[in-house]
A = this chain, B = another copy of it.
Amino acid sequence: MASASHAPTPLLKDELDIVIPTIRNLDFLEMWRPFFQPYHLIIVQDGDPSKTIRVPEGFDYELYNRNDINRMLGPKASCISFKDSACRCFGYMVSKKKYIYTIDDDCFVAKDPSGKDINALEQHIKNLLSPSTPFFFNTLYDPYRVGADFVRGYPFSLREGVPTAVSHGLWLNIPDYDAPTQLVKPLERNTRYVDAILTIPKGTLFPMCGMNLAFDRELIGPAMYFGLMGDGQPIGRYDDMWAGWCTKVITDHLGLGVKTGLPYIWHSKASNPFVNLKKEYNGIFWQEELIPFFQSVSLPKEATTVQKCYLELAKQVRAKLGKVDGYFNKLADSMVTWIEAWDELNPPKGGVPTANGPPKK
């Protein structure tokens, strides 16, 4: 299986956008310059639109603030969170590329155990371009890496794998803990470099973190909605989780793969656990209902596209989670709005978008 892995990793510089949500000057890009400069950046400015965000010279970027979002989406802008990094999903929507990499502005270049700078983006591209194996676990992890393969007992009919839709990277230094764990273990740092990539098996949910995440927009983009968080909402810090659960259920249904593991980035700064607790508070309770819900979601055979799956999911969210809290009715509405806005900005190929609605046939 290693043959494909021996080839040099394609840069995909015309096929990938880097999406960064931010409220501050993007000095962190200096450290990423050798790896990110060939790519186009989509910066989504969170919070006060009158503030100027400084981007280091030499980067090719477009920047959207709240005024831009409102202008472009009109009333549908209500589905994009305000004062929360969940707004990043607007960047997924306006991108015209096949792949997205999204990273937080407090994430720096990590080093591998040999002391070499890790090109996180290159590893994500490798992950996305090699198949996933969601139907059976391989004990030597990703069988498509150089020096690895499928072990004895792995069914031969499953060795082709399935297309990879998501590559979930990890973090050295500050681990992605919830507020209670941050409070209990303020000094814990992640120093363990685990040299593995693996497919999250079909039927298994995971906590998808948006800090260091890549995906194939064509395969799964419309499922990457980061929900309603932040200003005016009763919850925060569950944006990426929500997207992850929806995405996993849909990739499972459509026969796509989700990988996690390498690459690592260096997460520099723990966010304030007290502020976080306030944001997470409701989510900690609700989550106990959300997980059984997502574990039992079943999508109909007719749901053959991400959009159809997502709208079906919105229906089930309303039917089954509406009673947990009224928030989920609002979220279900937003999920529908998100898909409408997505389709408006990303008309089916061959169709012509018009000012008054979806493309005429």
A contacts, CB < 8 Å to B? 2, 113, 136-141, 145, 147-158, 168, 170, 175-178, 180-181, 185, 188-196, 200-209, 237-238, 240-241, 244, 260, 280, 284, 287-288, 291
Given the complex of chains A and B, what is the CA–CA distance between A204 and B205 in angstroms?
12
- Sample (14) of A-B pairs whose CB atoms are under 8 Å apart: A136-B291, A137-B205, A139-B176, A140-B190, A141-B194, A149-B181, A152-B209, A152-B237, A153-B207, A153-B209, A153-B244, A155-B291, A156-B180, A193-B195
Cβ 8 A contact of A155, one of B156, B208, B209, B288: B288
B-side contacts of A194, CB under 8 Å: 141, 194-196
Say yes or no: B149 contacts A188, CB within 8 Å: yes
Say yes or no: B203 contacts A203, CB within 8 Å: yes
Task: For A289, give the chain B residue with the smallest CB separation.
Answer: B155
B-side contacts of A176, CB under 8 Å: 139, 151-152
Say yes or no: A238 contacts B153, CB within 8 Å: yes
Say yes or no: B177 contacts A151, CB within 8 Å: yes
Which of A168, A193, A206, A237 has the most B CB atoms < 10 Å from its CB?
A206
Which of A152, A158, A175, A209 has the most B CB atoms < 10 Å from its CB?
A152
B-side contacts of A195, CB under 8 Å: 192-195
| List of 3 A-B pairs having minimum Cβ-Cβ separation, nearest first | A153-B207, A137-B206, A201-B204
Given the complex of chains A and B, what is the CA–CA distance between A168 and B153 in angstroms?
14
Say yes or no: B153 contacts A192, CB within 8 Å: no
Task: For A287, give the chain B residue with the smallest CB separation.
Answer: B155
Say yes or no: A288 contacts B156, CB within 8 Å: yes
B-side contacts of A178, CB under 8 Å: 151-154
Say yes or no: A207 contacts B154, CB within 8 Å: yes
Say yes or no: A140 contacts B170, CB within 8 Å: yes
Which of A153, A181, A291 has the most B CB atoms < 10 Å from its CB?
A153
B-side contacts of A137, CB under 8 Å: 200, 204-207, 260
- Given A177-B149, A178-B152, A192-B195, decide whether A204 and B207 contact each other with a Cβ distance below 8 A: no
Cβ 8 A contact of A209, one of B151, B191, B201, B284: B151
- Given A139-B260, A140-B170, decide whether A175 and B149 contact each other with a Cβ distance below 8 A: yes
Cβ 8 A contact of A153, one of B175, B189, B202, B241: B241
Say yes or no: B148 contacts A204, CB within 8 Å: no
Say yes or no: A204 contacts B206, CB within 8 Å: no
Cβ 8 A contact of A192, one of B148, B190, B288: B148
| Chain B nearest CB, measured from A355 CB (Å) | 40
Task: For A238, give the chain B residue with the smallest CB separation.
Answer: B153
B-side contacts of A191, CB under 8 Å: 147
Cβ 8 A contact of A207, one of B152, B181, B192, B287: B152
B-side contacts of A147, CB under 8 Å: 188-192
Given the complex of chains A and B, what is the CA–CA distance between A300 and B139 in angstroms?
29
Given the complex of chains A and B, what is the CA–CA distance between A44 and B196 in angstroms?
36
Given the complex of chains A and B, what is the CA–CA distance between A190 and B113 in angstroms?
18
B-side contacts of A150, CB under 8 Å: 177, 181
Say yes or no: B155 contacts A177, CB within 8 Å: no
Say yes or no: B204 contacts A152, CB within 8 Å: no
Task: For A295, give the chain B residue with the smallest CB separation.
Answer: B135
